[in-house]
Chains A and B, each alone.
Chain A
């Protein structure tokens, strides 16, 4: 049995030798995650091995907005959102559903935030290859929003999440 603990990123969490296979995400965890958290720019949550406090998966959430330019949506010109900015699972712990567990947690954390300051969407960006996986193969409530050059932006409606669970 491998016991894990879910916790906020703190100074006592051991980051080395975390490697999710993506150097940008590794670098964020190594150099920016804690700094950004202390500056209240983003919040990072981790799954750590309970006995060693080594991080094996993490996600980062922050507040953001969608700008409607000159137009309006629901009478406002900025849609408040929660951004799932980074999510990484260590290579030694892939295919164990840690990413799904973290997305479930992201939904609940986003809902908690929306009850205090109101935010309507949880936004994520995934590769174009994985777009159909999240939209068609798994039913996690993702909706397509926009494609970028090599990626796709998806969202989950937090109002529908709240209505389904409360």
Chain B
């Protein structure tokens, strides 16, 4: 499929935005009744799966390692995450 220059630019923008986060905190978040029920269920009863548990453990170990190395790390080590 042919891609126009404009489409290519949009794809490039999307790729770039993948690693950026921006939280619009200009409006206060007020939970709805439904959101309260859903959130309560997720926080109280939802179990995390093994892959998430593994990610959590790796996050903890990554930070401890960073601390041990006095917050110095190579870009190549990060690429292996």
Contacts and interface: CB of A to CB of B under 8 A. Distances in A.
Contact of A6 (B22, B31, B54, B71): B71
Secondary structure dominating the interface of A = mixed
Contact of B76 (A1, A69, A99, A164): A1
A125 B22 contact: yes
A21 B56 contact: no
Given A21-B20, A124-B21, A151-B24, A107 B59 contact: yes
B31 A71 contact: yes
A93 B75 contact: yes
A127 interface: yes
A86 B17 CA distance: 12
A133 B18 CA distance: 9
Interface residues of A, number: 72
Contact of A101 (B24, B39, B48, B81): B81
B72 A148 contact: no
A130 B60 CA distance: 24
Interface string B44-81: 00101101111111111011001000011111101111
